[in-house]
Amino acid sequence: MLSPFADVIDAWLRAELLLKGAVIHERLVEQYGFTGNYQRVKFYLQEARPRIAAEMGIPRTDWAGCTAGSSGSRCAGVGRLGR
């Protein structure tokens, strides 16, 4: 059900790896007419984040456990990736 939106979600994650699932779900509903539930988005993100981070050369230790808006030095700069 998410496959038609996978490229869009991946692009959003490449711009902001830690973008919250709820925000992604809201954008899909509002901008693309997505009718699936949040849980589908959440499951997709479990696969997509590690894959995209690896594509971008970001070690899991740099982002795992961080959340959008994290202010710790380990998480600084991970949300919006300007590496």
- Domain residue limits at 57: 3-63
Domain presence at residue 78: no
3-class secondary structure per residue, 42-76: HHHHHHHHHHHHHHCCCCHHHHCCCCCCCCCCCCC
Number of domains present in the structure of the chain: 1
pLDDT tens for each residue of 19-47 = 999 999 999 999 999 999 999 999 999 99
Domain presence at residue 80: no
pTM (two decimals):
0.78
Domain presence at residue 69: no
Would you give the DSSP letter of residue 80? Answer: T
- What percentage of the chain has pLDDT greater than the value 90? 65
At 79 the pLDDT is: 52
User: Any idea of the CA torsion for 1, 37, 39, 70, to the nearest 10 degrees?
Assistant: 110
pLDDT tens for each residue of 43-59 = 999 999 999 999 999 88
